[in-house]
C-alpha cells in the first residue's frame, strides 16, 4: 500500500443509489483521510444523509464500493461496519423512552452497537464483564462531556441540545476510528453548540477521524478541513473551507442556480 492509501480511512467510490425514479446518490466518489475532520455539505436533499446510510450499512448501494481501512464493507450490516471502526449518529436522535441517560448510553448507537448488543449474540459469556466495563466507560465519557449530572434523568426530559451531546457521547462509547455525525448542532442552542464543537476538536486531537454533515456553515467552516460539497447526489467539488466558500459552482448550488 502506498502512503497515500494508508492515510485513507474511508473510501467512497462511485456510489450509486436510487429510490424508484429518484437518483439520491449519483456516482459519488471521495476519500476521508485519517485524522481529519472532513465536512460534507450541500443543499437540502443533496443526498448527504443517504450517503451516511450507504457508508454505515443502513442502505445497500445499487453500485459502487465503500472501504474502511482498506477493507471493502459494501453490503455489510451496520454492526459489522461498526466492528471495523466506523460509527454514525442520526440526524434525528432516536426516541429514548423509559430510559435514563445512563441507560441510553449503554444501549449503544442505534442498531450499530460496537458494544454489548453484538456481544450478547457473539459471545454471551463476555457480556457480564463487558457490561461493567461499559458502565465505567459510560460514566467516564459522561463526565468528559460534562453531562454526568444528567445521568439519572429520564432521557426524554433533557433538551434537544443535550440529547445531541448524549448521542455523541454514546457513539464515543464504541471507540470508533471514524465517526460520522449527521447535523450534530441542528436545533442546538449556541452554548451547547460551542460545547459540541470543543468536544469534537478534543476527540479529533485524540485521534478520532470525523465526517461531518452540517447545515450551519459557520460551524462546519470553522471545524472541518477539507470540505466535500454534494449536489444532486454527486460531488460538486472539494477543498479547503476558503476555496469551497469562494467556488462559484457552490454558490450557484446553494442559490438553486
Nearest residue to the partner Mg ion, using Cβ: 49
Window 38-77: contact mask with ligand ADP (x via CB under 6 A): ----x-xxxxxxx---------------------------
CA distance 23 to 214: 22
Q: Residue 170 contacts by C-beta under 8 Å, 6 or more apart in sequence?
A: 104, 105, 107, 108, 109
Bridge partners of 210?
37, 179
Is 89 a binding residue for ligand ADP by CB under 6 A? The answer is: no
Instruction: Check residue 214 and give left, alpha or beta (phi > 0: left; psi -120 to 50: alpha).
Output: beta
| Structural element, H or E, at residue 213 | strand 209-213
| Residue recorded with cell 454489548 | 116
Min. distance of Cβ 182 from Mg ion in angstroms? 6
**Contact with ligand ADP (CB under 6 A): which of 5, 6, 19, 157?**
19
- Site size for Mg ion (CB under 5 A): 2
226 binds, among ligand ADP, Mg ion, none (CB under 5 to 8 A by kind): none
15 vs 86 by CB, closer to ligand ADP:
15
Helix (H, G, I), strand (E, B), or coil: what is residue 211? Answer: strand
| Structural element, H or E, at residue 33 | strand 22-33
49 vs 112 by CB, closer to Mg ion:
49
Helix (H, G, I), strand (E, B), or coil: what is residue 170? Answer: helix
Min. distance of Cβ 234 from Mg ion in angstroms? 16
123 binds, among ligand ADP, Mg ion, none (CB under 5 to 8 A by kind): none
145 vs 210 by CB, closer to Mg ion:
210
85 binds, among ligand ADP, Mg ion, none (CB under 5 to 8 A by kind): none
Helix (H, G, I), strand (E, B), or coil: what is residue 71? Answer: strand
Site for Mg ion in 28-57 (CB under 5 A): 48-49
CA distance 90 to 52: 9
**Contact with ligand ADP (CB under 6 A): which of 5, 6, 14, 22?**
22
CA quadruple 218, 221, 224, 229: dihedral positive or negative? positive
Give the residues lining the site for ligand ADP (CB under 6 A): 19, 22, 24, 42, 44-50
Interface contacts to Mg ion, rule CB under 5 A: 48-49
Amino acid at each position: 500500500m502506498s502512503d497515500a492509501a494508508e492515510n485513507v480511512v474511508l473510501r467512497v467510490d462511485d456510489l450509486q443509489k436510487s429510490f424508484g425514479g429518484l437518483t439520491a446518490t449519483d456516482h459519488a466518489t471521495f476519500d476521508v483521510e485519517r485524522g481529519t475532520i472532513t465536512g460534507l455539505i450541500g443543499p437540502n436533499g443533496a443526498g448527504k444523509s443517504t450517503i451516511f446510510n450507504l457508508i454505515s450499512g443502513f442502505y445497500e448501494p445499487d453500485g459502487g464500493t465503500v472501504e474502511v481501512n482498506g477493507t471493502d464493507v459494501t453490503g455489510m450490516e451496520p454492526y459489522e461496519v461498526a466492528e471495523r471502526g466506523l460509527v454514525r449518529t442520526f440526524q434525528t436522535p432516536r426516541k429514548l423512552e423509559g430510559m435514563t441517560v445512563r441507560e441510553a448510553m449503554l444501549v449503544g448507537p442505534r442498531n450499530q452497537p460496537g458494544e454489548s448488543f453484538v456481544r450478547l449474540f457473539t459471545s454471551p459469556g463476555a457480556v457480564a464483564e463487558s457490561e461493567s466495563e461499559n458502565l465505567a466507560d459510560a460514566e467516564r465519557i459522561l463526565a468528559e462531556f460534562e453531562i454526568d449530572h444528567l445521568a439519572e434523568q429520564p432521557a426524554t426530559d433533557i433538551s434537544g441540545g443535550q440529547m445531541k451531546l448524549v448521542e455523541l457521547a454514546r457513539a464515543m462509547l464504541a471507540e470508533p476510528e471514524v465517526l460520522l455525525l449527521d447535523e450534530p448542532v441542528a436545533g442546538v442552542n449556541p452554548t451547547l453548540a460551542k460545547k459540541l464543537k470543543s468536544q469534537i476538536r478534543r476527540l479529533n486531537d485524540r485521534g478520532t477521524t470525523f465526517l461531518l454533515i452540517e447545515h450551519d456553515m459557520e460551524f462546519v467552516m470553522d471545524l472541518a478541513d477539507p470540505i466535500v460539497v454534494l449536489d444532486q447526489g454527486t460531488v460538486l467539488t472539494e477543498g479547503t473551507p476558503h476555496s469551497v466558500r469562494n467556488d462559484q459552482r457552490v454558490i450557484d448550488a446553494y442559490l438553486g442556480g
